[in-house]
Structure 1
Amino acid sequence: MEIEIIKTDITEIQVDAIVNAANTSLLGGGGVDGAIHRKGGKAILDECVQIRNKQGGCKVGDAVITTAGNLPSKYVIHTVGPVWNNGKSHEEELLQSCYLRVLELAVENNIKTIAFPGISTGIYRFPKNKAAAIAIGSVKDFDKILEIDKIIFVCFDEESFEIYTSLLEKKL
C-alpha cells in the first residue's frame, strides 16, 4: 500500500474515491464539502437526499458512499468529523472513527485508491497536527489496509502539506 501527500484541489484527482468532509445533513456546505457538491453536480446531492430520507443524515464519526457525479473519481465517501471542543467531547476517537469507517466502506466497495482531505481541520477547528497524526495512524493501523493500493492525503494549504510530510517521514 502506497501513501502519497499532495497539495492540490481534491475535486481534480482521478482515484476510485475521494473523501468529503461533510456535515450531518449531507446537503453540502462550505469548504471541501461545498466544492465537491458544486463540481460533482446534482447526482451527488440526489443520492445524499436519498440517504437522508432513509437514515436521517450521517452521524459524527460515520460515513456513507455516493456516486461522484461529474467528478473524475468513481465515488465520494462522505464522513462527518467532530467539531473541536478542546478534546473534551471525544473528538480524537470520533475523528479516528471517520477514517476507519471510510476505509471499511472502501474495502466493502472494492475501492483501491482513495484521496482524503483534512477532516475537521477547517471550520470545525480540529488542530491540524493532531488531525494529521490521527489520519496517518488510522490508515497505518487499519487491519485490512493491504486491500487498498493507494491512499492520498490531499492538503489544501502549505502548512498542512508540511505537517503531513513531516509526520509521515517520522512514521516510516
Structure 2
Amino acid sequence: MDKQANQESNQNRKDHSDELKNRNEKDYERILKEKKVYTEVDEEINKLVEIYKGSIVEINNRRNSEKIDSIVNAANETLLGGGGIDQIIHAKAGPGLREECIKKFPEDSFGARCRTGYSVITGAHNLPFKAIIHTVGPYLDDSGNPQPKLLEFCYKHSLMYLDGKDISSIAFPCISTGYYGYPMVDACEIALGYTRKFLDDPDNRKNTKKILFCVYNDLEFKIYQNLFDKFFPKKKI
C-alpha cells in the first residue's frame, strides 16, 4: 500500500544504485520488445501533448512554440530547494521564491510545507512563467517498491491548476526518477497514463492548451518516446 514517503531516510544518497541503473536499462529493453496495448486515437488530445528534451527552465526559449504558463517543480517537503531540478528552479527563480514558500506555506508538525503526492502553487519570480507548481514525489517504500498512487497524485494535483484562464499550459519534469530513485518506465507510464485519463474528460480538455513533458536524461527520453504512442497514438494500429 502506498504510504507517506520518508524523505529523511534518503538524504545521504547521492546517486542511483547500480541495481536501479540496471533495472532502468532492462525495463527499456523490455518495452522495446513487448507488444503494446494502444489507447484509442484522439487527434484533439494529441495536439495538447508534447515531449521536449532539455532544461525545464528554458522551455520558453523553444523556437516557433507557444509559451508555457507554468512549470512543475519536483520539490521536497520543505519547499526550500533541494537537489536536481528543485535546486535549479530555486536558483533561477531567485530568493523571492524561497521567501514566498516560507510565508505562504507554514510547516506542519513534521516540518513539511507540502506532503508527498500533493501540490502547491507560487509565483515564478525571476523565471519567465506565470507560476511554479511544486509537487512532492514519492521515494520507494521501505521495502524498495514503487508507490504508484502517490506518484499519480502528483500529476493529478498539479493538473488541477489548469483553469483555462490564468494557467492553461504546464510543463512537467520526470517526477521522482532522479534523486528519489523511482524506476523510469513505471514513472513514465504513470505520467502519460494519468495525463491521458485527465484529457479524456472534455471539461479538462477545454481548460488545456498544452501539457509538455520535459525530459533531460537520455535513457528517460527514449523511454518517453517509446511509450508516448501507447497513450497518444496518431493512428489505429
**TM interval, short-chain normalised:** over 0.9
* Aligned-partner Cα distance in 2 for 1:166–1:145: 25
- 1:87 aligned to 2:148? no
- 1:7 aligned to 2:53? yes
* Aligned-partner Cα distance in 2 for 1:109–1:98: 22
SS in 2 for 1:76: strand
The corresponding residue for 1:145 is: 204
2:130/2:167 contact within 8 Å kept: no
Alignment CA distance shift 1:109-1:35 (3 Å): farther
* Aligned-partner Cα distance in 2 for 1:29–1:92: 22
* Residue identity opposite 2:214 in structure 1: V
Structure 2 unaligned segments of length 5 or more: list them.
Answer: 1-44, 61-67
1:25 is matched with which residue: 66, 71, 78? 78
The corresponding residue for 1:51 is: 104
* Aligned-partner Cα distance in 2 for 1:100–1:106: 11
Percentage of matched positions with identical amino acids:
42
Cα displacement string for residues 98-138 of structure 1 (whole angstroms, at most 9, x for unaligned residues): 00000112338741111100000011100010001000011
- 1:129 aligned to 2:175? no
**Count of equivalent residues:** 170
The corresponding residue for 1:169 is: 229
* Aligned-partner Cα distance in 2 for 1:51–1:59: 15
Q: TM-score, normalised by structure 1?
A: 0.92
1:65 Cα deviation after fit: 0.2
- 1:96 aligned to 2:159? no
SS in 2 for 1:19: strand
1:67/1:74 contact within 8 Å kept: yes
Map residues 111-130 of structure 1 onto 2, 5 A cutoff: 111-130=167-186
The corresponding residue for 1:37 is: 90
* Aligned-partner Cα distance in 1 for 2:194–2:99: 30
* Residue identity opposite 2:175 in structure 1: I
* Residue identity opposite 1:136 in structure 2: L
SS in 2 for 1:12: helix
* Residue identity opposite 1:168 in structure 2: F
* Aligned-partner Cα distance in 1 for 2:165–2:104: 17
1:84 Cα deviation after fit: 1.6
Structure 1 unaligned segments of length 5 or more: list them.
Answer: none
1:75 is matched with which residue: 131, 135, 139? 131
Question: Which structure's residues are more often strand, by fraction?
Answer: 1
1:74 Cα deviation after fit: 1.2
Cα displacement string for residues 68-91 of structure 1 (whole angstroms, at most 9, x for unaligned residues): 111111110000000023336xx1
* Residue identity opposite 1:96 in structure 2: E
* Aligned-partner Cα distance in 1 for 2:158–2:182: 18
